[in-house]
A = this chain, B = another copy of it.
Amino acid sequence: MSLPKVLRVSKSGRESYHHGDLEAALVDAAIELVRKTGPGHLSLRAVAEQVGVSPSAVYHYFPDKDALVSHVGDKLFVDLADMQREALAKIPGKSARAARLRYRELGRTYFRWAYKEPNLFRLMFGGFCKIEKEGLHIEDEAFQMLTQCLDDLLATGLISPEMRQYGELISWSSVQGASNLIVEGHLPPDVFESLLDGLELAMIGRKK
């Protein structure tokens, strides 16, 4: 009995009094608006209007505007992890060369995401979405991919066990920091490739 509710018509102007999947629609609309306006200038009313719903309807799914923004952040982290997985899938193989390329591509994908959508990147890492989980958890899926990459580098002998233990920390921090600094205009975009060069030099030890 779950026909596509979009097709039904009711007394109210819209296709259906109920929306179908309002929660997801609100998050998607919010993403679109944050992309343009930035996370600080997002309007709850504009989100509702974009979806074709009254502002108060939002409060049936989110306790307040901040909660909506927070859920937007959750979705963005999933999207980023998806991109990373796709990028890695294009460079299979157990060779040292493949491992190194994967490592670089992981950082590049991260930066490309940030540089293409500065406002979404700001939302993710600018204190707009509350992390309620505790411990080392990090953003689990993306972190696991990085761990795998580093394990591959270790297995092929490209990094030392001593260096390996700092792998996630240095990699994630420097890629995150460089992306942040470039997005905010403190560094020019072209230095990111240099960062990857320097990171390889630091971790692996020899210039290619």
Contacts and interface: CB of A to CB of B under 8 A. Distances in A.
Q: Determine how many copies of this chain the complex contains.
A: 2
Interface stretch (A10-18, A97-105, A177-185): A177-185
Main secondary structure of the interface of A (DSSP, over half): helix
Interface of A: 38-40, 118-119, 122, 125-128, 130-131, 135-136, 138-139, 162-163, 165-166, 169-170, 172-181, 183-188, 191, 194-195, 197-199, 201-203, 207
B122 A201 contact: no
A191 B177 contact: no
Contacts of A195: 166, 169-170, 173
A175 to B, nearest CB: 7
Interface pairs A-B: 4 shortest CB-CB: A177-B177, A166-B198, A176-B177, A202-B202
A180 B178 contact: no
A135 B122 CA distance: 22
Nearest to A177: B177
A120 B138 CA distance: 23
Nearest to A188: B136
A176 B181 contact: yes
Nearest to A202: B202
Given A169-B191, A198-B170, A180 B125 contact: yes
Contacts of A201: 162-163, 166
Contact of A163 (B40, B162, B202): B202
A185 B135 CA distance: 9
A76 B162 CA distance: 37
Contacts of A202: 163, 166, 170, 202-203
Contacts of A125: 180-181, 184
26 contacts: A40-B127, A40-B128, A119-B127, A122-B126, A122-B127, A125-B184, A127-B183, A127-B184, A131-B186, A136-B187, A138-B187, A162-B201, A162-B207, A165-B198, A166-B197, A169-B178, A169-B194, A170-B174, A170-B198, A170-B202, A173-B174, A173-B181, A175-B177, A176-B181, A202-B202, A202-B203
